[in-house]
Amino acid sequence: MPPIEITSFGYLHGDPPPAHVTCDLRQHFRDPHWNPELRQLTARDEPVAQAVMTTPGILAVVDALAAMVRAYLAGPAQAPLKVAIGCAGGRHRSAQVTQALAQLLREEGTAVTVVHRDINLPVVAR
* Count of the separate structural domains present in the chain: 1
Whether residue 124 lies inside any domain: the answer is: no
Range of the structural domain that residue 14 is part of: 4-116
Whether residue 126 lies inside any domain: the answer is: no
Whether residue 123 lies inside any domain: the answer is: no
Read off φ and ψ for residue 23, nearest 5 degrees.
Answer: -120, 125
Whether residue 80 lies inside any domain: the answer is: yes
Whether residue 29 lies inside any domain: the answer is: yes
Q: Tell me the one-letter amino acid at 65.
A: L
Q: Tell me the pTM.
A: 0.96
Whether residue 75 lies inside any domain: the answer is: yes
- For 2-31, what is each residue's pLDDT tens digit? 789 999 999 999 999 999 999 999 999 999
- Strand-pairing partners, residue 21, are 83
At 1 the pLDDT is 74
**Rounded Cα gap, residues 67 and 70, in angstroms:** 5
Whether residue 9 lies inside any domain: the answer is: yes
